Amino acid sequence: METAKRLTKRVVGYPEDSVPYISSKDYLARYVRDPDVLFAINYVLSLFPILTWISRYNLGWATGDFISGLTVGMVLVPQGMSYAQIATLPVQYGLYSSFVGVTIYCLFATSKDVSIGPVAVAPEIATTVAFICGFIVLGVGLLRLGWIIEFIPAVAVSGYMTGSAISIAAGQVPGLMGITGFNTRAATYQVIINTLKGLPRTTLDAAWGLTSLFALYAIRFLCDYFGKRYPRRARIFFFISVIRNAFVILVMTIAAWLYCRHRRSKKGTYPIKILQTVPRGFQHVGQPTIDHDLVTALAGELPVATIVLLLEHIAISKSFGRLNGYTINPNQELIAIGVTNTVGSCFGAYPATGSFSRSALKSKSGVRTPLAGLVTAIVVLVALYGLTPAFFWIPNAALSAVIIHAVADLVASPAQVYSYWRVSPLECIIWFAAVLTTVFSTVENGIYVSICTSVGLLLIRIAHPRGAFLGKVTVRGSQAANKESRDVFVPLTKNGITNPHIKIDPPSPGVIVYRHEESAIFPNASLLNAELVGYVKKHMRRGKDMSNIPASERAWNDPGPGAGGDQVANDKLPDLHAIVIDLSTVSHIDVTAVQALIDTRNEVERWADHPVEFHFATLLSPWIRRALIAGGFGTGVPSSRVPLEIAKVVPYRELQDNSMFSSRPTPSSLEGYAPVIETDTPFFHLDLAAAVRAAESGNAAQL
C-alpha cells in the first residue's frame, strides 16, 4: 500500500516536503448535511410554508386578512377582465386566472403581500403556455435554481417594466378613444403615430373612456390630498381611493346601460363597444389540451413568458419583503407560481404572476398572512357566478381606462432614473436600452436586451476589474488622548476619491504594492499579469545591459533599450526587490490566475535578472493560500525549483539550464521573520502594512 501511495504521489507530482494547507476533506465536509431521511423530510416541509405558521393563526390576523382580501378582490375583478382583453381573450379568462392565482398561491407562498393574478405584461399567451411555463418554473423552484434570477439587476427589471407599461398604455389609447383601423400590437412608436393620425376618427367611446380615466385620477388625487389634510380620517380616504376602480366601472356600466339599451341596431351592435355576454361560472374546467402544433407555433413565446413569470414575481416579492421586514424564499416563490399556473391551466386560466399595483394595495390594507388570498378568491367567485349579467353593459373604453391607470404607476419617475445615473451610469444605460428597445421594437426584445446588457456588463466588470498600485498614508488620532497612528494604503494616482491635499508616500524603491479589486479568475487573469509586468518594465531597472548586445543575439520580440540615453535612464531606475499583492478583495482564485502569477514571476525575474520576492496580504480564504502554494508561492523554495507551469496545455520538457537563478537564497534564511498565517514561511501576512514592512526590510528569501 505504501509503495502504491508513493507511486501515485510521484505520478501526480505531490510535493514531498510541503507546508500545511487545507485539505480536500475539508472541502467535502462543507456539503455534508443532515442524514438523508431528515433532509428529505425538511425538504418536503419546506414546500408548504403554510405549515410553519397556520397553527398560530388568530383573530387579529384574520381581521387584517379579511379586510385586505376583500379590498384586493374589489380591484382584481375589473382588472382581471381588463387584462384578459390585452391577451385578446374573452374577459372570463381573466377571472379564471384571478381565482386560481389567489387560491393556490397562499398554500405555497413565503410572501404575505404579493397578489397573484393576470397582469398587463403578459400578452400573446394563453392556457397552453400557462401550463408549459408553469411546469418549467416549478422545475426551476424544485431544483433550487432560483439564484439565476440574481443575474438580472433591479435596473434591468425597472427598464423592462417601464417599457412594457408604455407599450401597454399606448396600445390601450385607441380603445379608450374608439379609434380603429390599424394594428395595436405593432411596435409602440408605430401605435403612437397611428393613434395620433386617427384622432379625427374618434368615436363616442371616448366619452366613456376619457371620463373614466379622469375620474380614476381625480378620486386618487383628492383622496391623497384630504388624507394628508385630515390625518385622522386618512384610513377612510384610503379605502375610498381603493374602490375607485369598482366605483368607476359601476357608474360607467350604468351610464352605458341607460344610453345603449334602446339603441341596438338591426345587426346586433350598439353605439359604443361593450362586453356583452360573459359566460357564468367556470366553463373550461378539465385537463388542458396540449396541442403539438400549438406548442410549436408558440415556441418563440415560451422563453419570454417564462422570464416574465420569474422576473416580475421575484422582483415584486423581494420589494415588499424589504418594505415590510421579512425575507422571501426565491425558490419557494417559484414553486408557488409554478403550481399556480400549472393548476390554473386546468381551469382555463392564462399565465399569472405577481401584480405590483394589487400587491401594494394588499400591503397597505394591512394584510397579515397569505390566507388573505382566499378572501379575494371568494370575491372573484361571487363575481363569476352572480354578477355576469351586469358585466354585459361594461364599456370596453372604461376597461381600457382601468388598464392605463394601473400600468402608469409602473413607469419609473424622472427622480428614480436620475438616482440610477448617480449610483451607476452604466446601469442607467441598461435602463434606457431596455425602454427604447421595447418602444421601438417589441416587449420580448426589450426583455432580451435588458438581460443581455446586464450579463454583458457583469462580464465586462469581471474581465476588466479595477486594480491600483498603492502608496502609504499615515493616519494619526485627532484627539489628545488618542495619538496612535496607523498606515492606510490608497491608490498612488488621483482617481476622484483620494483627497488631493493628502500626501501619499510611495513604497520604498524597488517595492511594488498592488491591489486586485476582483476575484482572480480566468477572464481577468491576463489583465493581472499585464498590469504587474507592464508596471515593472516601465518603472523598474532592467537587470542586463542590452545596449551593447547585437540585435542578432536578442530575442525576436525584445527590441531592447537603445544605446546611450536609454541605458542611462534605465540605470537611474530602482532595482526591483519585492512585489506585494493585496488580496483583501479577492474571494476566489482559479488555476488560470495562479498560472498568470507564475508567468508574472518568471517575466519580472527575467527583467530584473535576479530573484524577486512575492508577498501576499489579507487572504480571505484558506483555499486561496492552498492555490498559491500549489503554484510555488509561500513555500520558501527558490524559483529554480518551482514549476514554470501549473496549467499545461501542450506537453513540454522541463528546462534543464536554470543557471540564471542558481544563486537564489535557500530556505535556511527564513528563520526569525515577520508574522504569518498558519505557516512558518514569511510570505502570507495578516495585513497589508505587515506585508509592506516585510518586503521593504529585504530579509525574506525568494519564493
- Is 70 exceeded by the pLDDT of residue 83? yes
Dump pLDDT digits (tens) for 400-446.
Answer: 898 898 888 888 889 999 999 999 888 898 999 999 998 998 888 88
Grid-cell match 378620486, residue found: 219
Q: List, in order, residues 6 or more apart from 589 with CB less than 8 Å away.
A: 519, 520, 521, 623, 624, 627, 628
Q: CA torsion angle for 134, 136, 142, 144 (degrees, to 10)?
A: -120
Secondary-structure percent of the chain, ordered helix, strand, coil, rounded to 5: 60, 5, 35
Kind of pairing between the strands at 578-582 and 613-617: parallel
Kindly tell me if the per-residue pLDDT of 95 is higher than 90.
Answer: no
What does the pLDDT read at residue 513? Answer: 95
**Are the CB atoms for 681 and 19 separated by under 8 Å?**
yes
- Please count the CA atoms within 13 angstroms of the CA of 465 that sit on its side-chain side: 20
Distance CA 403, CA 248 (A): 13
pLDDT for residue 30 is more than 70: no
Distance, CA of 14 to CA of 400 (rounded, Å): 73
**CB-based contacts of 88-92 (< 8 A; 24+ apart in sequence):** 88/123, 88/124, 89/126, 89/350, 90/278, 90/279, 91/275, 91/278, 91/391, 91/399, 92/278, 92/279, 92/283, 92/384, 92/388
Contacts of 597 (CB under 8 A, 6+ apart): 520, 528, 529, 614, 628, 631, 633
Among 46-55, 481-490, 523-532, the minimum mean pLDDT is found in 481-490
Mean pLDDT, the chain, rounded, equals 81
- Separation CA 448–CA 461 (nearest Å): 20
Give the tens place of pLDDT for each residue, 174-195. 999 999 888 888 899 999 999 9
- Burial tier of 684 (Cβ tally within 10 Å: 0-12, 13-18, 19+): buried
Grid coordinates given for 82: 381588463
- Buried b / exposed e along 588-615 (16+ C-beta atoms within 10 A): ebbebbbbbbbbbbbebbebbeebbbbb
| pLDDT of amino acid 207 | 94
Report how far apart, in Å, the C-alpha atoms of 660 and of each of 68, 544, 550, 609, 699 are.
80, 12, 20, 8, 21
Which position has the higher pLDDT, 22 or 490? 490
| Phi and psi, residue 370, nearest 5° | -65, -15
- Determine contact, residues 275/81, Cβ cutoff 8 Å: yes
List alpha helices for 510-621, DSSP H.
Answer: 525-539, 565-572, 591-608
**Assigned C-alpha cell, 312:** 416580475
User: CA-CA distance, 314 to 117, in Å (whole number)?
Assistant: 14
Please list, in sequence order, all residues whose beta carbon lies within 8 angstroms of the beta carbon of residue 17, skipping any fewer than 6 positions away.
none
Mean pLDDT across the stretch 128-133?
82
CA distances from 124 to 88, 274, 347, 350 (A): 7, 22, 18, 10
- Tell me the mean pLDDT in the region 596-620: 91
Cα-flanking dihedrals φ and ψ of residue 273, to 5°? Answer: -80, 125
Beta bridge partners of 475: 486
User: CB–CB of 172/403 below 8 Å?
Assistant: yes
Neighbouring CB atoms inside 10 A of 286's CB total: 9
CB 527 within 8 A of CB 464: yes
Residue 114 β-bridge partners:
none
For residue 581, list its beta bridge partners.
Answer: 514, 616
- Identify whether the C-beta of residue 450 lies closer than 8 Å to the C-beta of residue 152: yes
pLDDT band at 27 (very low <50, low <70, confident <90, very high): low
What is the per-residue pLDDT for 12? Answer: 67
Q: Judging by beta carbons within 10 Å of its beta carbon (0-12, 13-18, 19+), is residue 630 exposed, middle or buried?
A: middle
> Is-contact 140 341, C-beta < 8 A?
no
Decide if domain 468-477+485-542+568-644+672-697 falls under CATH 3.30.56.10.
no
Block residue for cell numbers 392556457: 127
For the segment 297-332, what is each residue's pLDDT rounded down to a tens digit? 777 777 877 887 887 788 778 777 877 777 888 888
pLDDT in tens, 259-276: 998 888 877 789 999 888
Torsion 622-625-626-627 (CA) sign: positive
| Main-chain phi, psi angles of 505, to 5 degrees | -90, 120
Q: Single out the residue of 469, 459, 467 nearest to residue 516, CA to CA.
A: 467
The amino acid at 487: D
Q: Average of pLDDT values for 582-598?
A: 93
Question: Residue 21: pLDDT above 50?
Answer: yes
CB count, 10 Å around CB of 671?
10
Q: What is the pLDDT of residue 678?
A: 37
What was the pLDDT predicted at 557?
A: 66
* pLDDT above 50: residue 668: no
Q: What are the backbone dihedrals phi and psi of residue 476, each rounded to the nearest 5 degrees, phi first?
A: -115, 150
Please report, for the chain, the start and end positions of each structural domain, with discontinuous segments joined by +: 52-459, 468-477+485-542+568-644+672-697
The DSSP-derived string for 327-373 is ---HHHHHHHHHHHHHHHGGGT----EEEHHHHHHHHHTT--STTHH
User: In what helix (H) or strand (E) does residue 614 lie, and over which residues does it extend?
Assistant: strand 613-617
pLDDT tens for 196-216 read 999 999 999 999 999 999 999
